[in-house]
Amino acid sequence: MLRNLIELDLSPNYISSRILDNTGNLSNLNALYLYVNNLFGSIPEKVGKLSKLSIIQLLDNDLSGSIPISIRNLTDLSDVKLDINKLSGSIPSSIGKLTKLTTLFLFINNLSGSIPSCIGKLTKLTELSLDRNNLSGSIPSCIWKLTKLTILSLYMNNLSGSIPFSIGKLTKLTRLSLEMNNLSGINTLLYLEIDKAYHIDPAYEQSLWINSILNWKLENALRIWSYDGKIVYENIVKATEEFDSKYYIRVGGCGSVYKAELRTSQVVAVKKLHSEIDGRMSSIMKSFTTEIRALAEIRHHNIVKLFGFCSHLLHSFLVYEYLERESLDKILKSMEKEIALDWDRRTNIVQGVANGTFGYSAPELAYTMDVNEKCDVYSYGVMTLEVVLGQHPGDLISSLFSPSSSSMGSTSKNLLLNDVLDQWLSPPTYPITEEIVSVAMLALACLNETPRSRPSMEQVCKELSIPNPASSVQLNMIMLGDLC
């Protein structure tokens, strides 16, 4: 055994293993770095035998179980980072014996119970982050006596009670985050005002607001940065060179999308909000925050991952998982790939998107309050027709829903379904023909001019899941008007 070892650093290596009990035999160990691995199981009690340990960093693993009581023996500890794991149980009161602690990070775990008052004994503490757990009860008054604190993050727990005015004694605070609790007293939304009082960098003092994503692990660098939004902001702006056009991918209804390669070589998609939306953020922040938090927690194979959101005086943007594949529009217009995307795959796309859409409201709902769920249904109808036609339906939609008396409406409704299907593919055959008719009919129902007459996405999903009855459908006999 390496009994003379002073420092052990095995991170980041994505090691999949338990922490071995005999780690406790490294009696001279001063620093233990095992962060960003796939370590599982509990933290062994024998870690408490490492009496000379001053740094223990086990963040970003899959560790479970409780924080070992034996940690009280490690009285030389100054840096404890057990964040981004699955630790449960309460914060042990024995932690109050670690009087040399300057950093205590336990965020993004499943810790419950109250915040122990013994934390007040940690008078050297400068960084305390317990956010995104299930902690309850009031914030112990002793915390407001930790005058060396620069970071205090307790947000997204079940904390209650009042925030005393004695918070003003924490004059070294540069970041205070108490939101998403049941606290009263000083308005917890005065986060930015508190920042200004403590002289944050003027470039950020009025409008920097970060939501760096909730109860699940962020990818690589983003998850390490989850407690420092300023770093996230600066790195993304740097990676895109202030959103230079050479990183531009496409434009959408809410913003322009850019490709950004971070310093860890991770590639993300960054949607920079249009200026008119960005300008309204201050008035709609509460509802927008709720929507973003909901989207961040969605775990669905049909929905691209949302990593985070940043609102700043200069730029507001969303950070998404970057997908290497081309857009549906490009694939449909590519002659080489057209053959690969056959009728069977196209109907699967239609059903897959429906399953991904059901149950989740669109982000636009947060910043255009007049939008309702049927707007998503309409968009789904357009996308479905595009898959079937091989191109955007364009004016065909408006003409189909024009009065039958108009020449445009009459002409469109008399078009045969067989004639408007994507001509790059061979005509579909049984049993795909039944699915094509069903899909086209659903798409047109979603495009109804009256929102109330459109089906819900739940209804669409149910219709698509019902097997089509055997029949001898002939596409060259069905007109578009028959499907409306």
The CATH number of 7-206, from 1.20.1250.20, 3.50.30.10, 2.170.150.20, 3.80.10.10, is 3.80.10.10
Q: 220-321: what CATH class? A: alpha beta
Per-residue confidence band for 250, with pLDDT thresholds at 50, 70 and 90: confident
Check residue 206 and give its pLDDT. 31
Domain with CATH 1.10.510.10 in the chain: 328-483
Per-residue confidence band for 368, with pLDDT thresholds at 50, 70 and 90: very low
Check residue 200 and give its pLDDT. 30
Per-residue confidence band for 380, with pLDDT thresholds at 50, 70 and 90: confident
pLDDT for residue 85 is more than 90: yes
Mean per-residue pLDDT for 233-249? 82
> What does pLDDT average to over the chain?
73
Peptide bond before 431: cis, by omega within 30 degrees of 0? yes
Domain with CATH 3.80.10.10 in the chain: 7-206
pLDDT for residue 14 is more than 70: yes
Does the domain at 328-483 match CATH 1.10.510.10? Answer given as yes
Q: Is the dihedral of CA 271, 274, 277, 281 positive or negative?
A: positive
